[in-house]
Amino acid sequence: MIRAVLDTNVYVAALLSRDGAPARLMGSLSDGLFDVVVCPALLDELRGVLARPKISQRISQRDARAYVEWVERVGLSDKDPVDILSISPDPDDDYLIALARQSGAGVIVSGDAHLLSLALGGLRVLSPAAFAELIDALR
């Protein structure tokens, strides 16, 4: 089973648009085609992004809360990473790399170009579209 860490931008994109690769990934996650790793910091970040005015105008707080609860339920829960190295051009994303490494995830899925450009040894960073293609091939 593929174990992945999804950047919050993937979760948000899936919630804002029922079409496209992020939404397909949420369907595949529901179908049990891959495992996703979450931690308290990731869930807090997702809650914060969904509460931003630009997003909350499109998604009710009730739907946002239910979505985060669903992500928490379907995800493999891990502790917040402690050993966080400065690797990414965006320091706020370094915890995703640390979470993937500590949880044994083989993939980080993100729409951020700075993460997609990183070479992380055995850890792959894929766009939502590339990861959706990989998962679709498992069906």
* Span 42-91, pLDDT tens digits: 999 999 999 999 999 999 999 999 999 999 999 999 999 997 877 776 77
Q: Enumerate residues 6+ apart whose C-beta is below 8 A from 49.
A: 8, 12, 55
Over the stretch 92-123, which tens digit does the pLDDT of each residue have?
788 999 999 999 999 999 998 888 877 778 88
Q: Enumerate residues 6+ apart whose C-beta is below 8 A from 122.
A: 106
- CATH class for the domain made up of 3-136: alpha beta
Q: What is the C-alpha to C-alpha distance for residues 55 and 87, in angstroms, rounded to an integer?
A: 29
Q: Could you tell me which of 84, 17, 5, 13 has the C-alpha nearest to residue 43?
A: 5
Q: What is the C-alpha to C-alpha distance for residues 110 and 131, in angstroms, rounded to an integer?
A: 9
Q: What is the C-alpha to C-alpha distance for residues 58 and 73, in angstroms, rounded to an integer?
A: 23
Beta bridge partners of 125: 108
3-state secondary structure of 125: strand
| Burial category of 86 from C-beta neighbours within 10 Å (exposed 0-12, middle 13-18, buried 19 and up) | exposed
At residue 138, does pLDDT exceed 90? no
What are the sequence ranges of the domains in the chain?
A: 3-136
